[in-house]
Structure formats: C-alpha cells, structure tokens
Chain A
Amino acid sequence: MSRRKTTMASSSLTKPQMRGLLAKRLRFHIVGAFVVSLGVAAFYKFAVAEPRKKAYADFYRNYDSIKDFEEMRKAGIFQSAK
C-alpha cells in the first residue's frame, strides 16, 4: 500500500544521500577499528607490559636466592629443610 507524501509546494527538503551508504559506513568502521585496536594495543604495552618487565628486572637485579631461602627456612615452611 503506497503512502502519500503530502508536502506544501513552497517547502522543499534537501535530497538525502542516496548512494554509497555502505561504503561510507565501511570506511568509518574500518578506520575506527584500526585506530581503536592500535590504541588499545599501545595502551596495554605501555600501561601493563613495560611496567611488568621493569618490575621483574628490578626484583631480580639484586636478588640473593640463598638469603631468600634462609628466610623461608627460618619461617618453617619446608618439610625437608628445618
């Protein structure tokens, strides 16, 4: 059933975009996807991965495993080394 569009003679609406709608949407979303994924990756690298690497490097720089072991032994957690 067709609907009649009733407009006054004097008013004329601008012609809407008729073509290339999918292309426009695809471009927007592909660019956005690249930007968002690169942004998230960069954020993760500099907020999570780099600090973690630094924390491990700092921990093991002056780490004395024998001293650590003696502390644990004195605390009494081992069964085979009292």
Chain B
Amino acid sequence: SIHLPLESSDKTQGVSSPGCLKEGLTSSSVLRANLQDTLDSIQEMSFRAAWSLVLRKGGLGMRGIHSPGGTAHSKEKMPPYTSYHAQRSYPMPDEPFCTELSAEQQALKEKEKGSWTQLSHAEKVALYRLQFHETFTEMNRRSNEWKTVMGCVFFFFGFTGLLIWWQRVYVFPKKPITLMDEWKAQQLQRILDMKGNAVQGLASRWDYERKEWKK
C-alpha cells in the first residue's frame, strides 16, 4: 500500500527504534495541545476565569519546563533535553533531537555509517526520528493559539474602554463653550450663510429655498 513516508504509526514500528529517550516529549506536546483546547473553552467565562487564563498563558510562555528548547529562541540547556526546537522558519537546527542514545540506537547509528541501501524503511524512519523530532507536516501543524490571542486582544480592548469611560466621568474637565450644541448650530448656520463649499461640499447639500437639507 502506498502511504506517506513518516506516519505516526512509524513511531511504534521498527527494528531498533524504541523511540528517543525523550519520547515523553511527544506526549507532552499532546498534553500541550489538550491544554490549549482547555484554554479555548475557558475563554468565554467570567472575568476571573479570564484572569486565570492570563496567568496560565504566562505559564505557557515559560514552557521551558515541558517542551524542548525552552522558549522559541533560547539556547539554554534544560536537562535532560537539548536546545532542539524546529519551526517553519528554522526547520533543521544544528543539534539532533536525541543525543542520549540507547544501545540499540547507537548500533543503528553505526549502521548508518555504512551504505544506506542496507537500511530498512523502518530503520530510516527511526534515524529520522532521532535526528528530527517531527516531520514537516507535524511541525507545521496549525494550532488554536490564534483564538487565545484574539480573545486576549479583545479582552484588553474592552478593559481599555472601561478605563476610558471612567476617565471621562472622573477626569475630563467641563466642555468648552464652542462644543455646546447651541454654539455648534450657530456655527453651522454661519457656514451655510457663507455658502461654504457650494459646488460639491456642505452648502451644496442645503436647500436654500426650503431651508432644510436636500433629500
């Protein structure tokens, strides 16, 4: 049967590929995805839940603990993981994904030094998984992060609106006389008397016979 070169099932197959010692990272990336979905569901809830969302999002930003490579561009070594982080703009980092190899994996690495035609398909897959954590498709998978981002953006829009409302009530001084309705009406009347922009502009919209705006 024809199938894509590196399916997820390839992780479990293989002659000598028990998986990278950091196999737990795969489950942690799944955990992170689940965490992401949970975050999205919480989004609609109350202010307090939104605040806890902000705190948790901050926790996600400090994801050096749960996923490889710390933050996206840090190069600190956090044991036992190396600073491997692949992304679409930086798909092939300098270090391989797995550096602590079991005996089987080391044997495979030795075999790799020979002719590659000797390698079985499963062995090639295992070698790929040692060097690179995910395929391009897996690495480039989309996420629901944009919903979290937009939610936080709108939340802060709303919060800013509340702040500005408070400001208008408690901080702004009295309106100047030129912004009162009576003054503005007299000002408009004067502009119409002067025939301001009579060709295409304001005075062209005024009907001088009936003394009203043109329909």
Chain A positions near chain B (C-beta within 8 angstroms): 1, 3-8, 10-11, 52, 55-56, 59, 68, 71-72, 75-77
- Specify the main secondary structure of chain A where it touches its partner: loop
Name B92's contact: one of A1, A4, A76 (CB within 8 Å).
Answer: A1
CA distance A6 to B121 in the complex (A): 7
Asked if B6 is at the interface (CB within 8 A of a chain A CB), the reply is yes
Judging by beta carbons under 8 Å apart, are A75 and B2 in contact?
Answer: no
Q: Which residue from chain B places its CB closest to the CB of A68 in the assembled complex?
A: B195
Asked if B198 is at the interface (CB within 8 A of a chain A CB), the reply is yes
Interchain residue pairs A-B with the least CB separation, the first 4: A75-B193, A6-B5, A59-B199, A77-B193
Q: Which residue from chain A places its CB closest to the CB of B5 in the assembled complex?
A: A6
Judging by beta carbons under 8 Å apart, are B198 and A11 in contact?
Answer: no
Question: 1/0 contact trace for B72-101 toward A, CB 8 Å?
Answer: 000000000000000000001000100000
Asked if B184 is at the interface (CB within 8 A of a chain A CB), the reply is no
Interface size on B, residues (CB 8 A): 22
CB-CB under 8 A from A4, the residues of chain B are: 116, 124, 127-128
> How close is A49's CB to chain B, nearest CB, in angstroms?
12
Judging by beta carbons under 8 Å apart, are B194 and A77 in contact?
Answer: yes
Q: Which residue from chain B places its CB closest to the CB of A75 in the assembled complex?
A: B193
Of B3, B193, B208, most A-chain CB atoms within 10 Å: B193
Judging by beta carbons under 8 Å apart, are B199 and A7 in contact?
Answer: no
Known: A1-B92, A52-B200, A55-B200. A8 touches B2 (CB 8 A): yes
CA distance A55 to B121 in the complex (A): 77
CB-CB under 8 A from B111, the residues of chain A are: none
Known: A6-B6, A10-B2, A52-B200. A72 touches B124 (CB 8 A): no
5 cross-chain CB contacts under 8 A: A3-B92, A6-B124, A10-B2, A52-B200, A77-B190
> How close is A61's CB to chain B, nearest CB, in angstroms?
12
Asked if B20 is at the interface (CB within 8 A of a chain A CB), the reply is no
Judging by beta carbons under 8 Å apart, are B193 and A76 in contact?
Answer: yes
CB-CB under 8 A from B39, the residues of chain A are: none
CB-CB under 8 A from B131, the residues of chain A are: 1
Asked if B108 is at the interface (CB within 8 A of a chain A CB), the reply is no
CA distance A59 to B127 in the complex (A): 82
CB-CB under 8 A from A55, the residues of chain B are: 199-200
CA distance A11 to B3 in the complex (A): 10
Of A3, A4, A68, most B-chain CB atoms within 10 Å: A4
Q: Which residue from chain B places its CB closest to the CB of A5 in the assembled complex?
A: B5
> How close is B10's CB to chain A, nearest CB, in angstroms?
10
Judging by beta carbons under 8 Å apart, are B194 and A59 in contact?
Answer: no
Judging by beta carbons under 8 Å apart, are A7 and B5 in contact?
Answer: yes
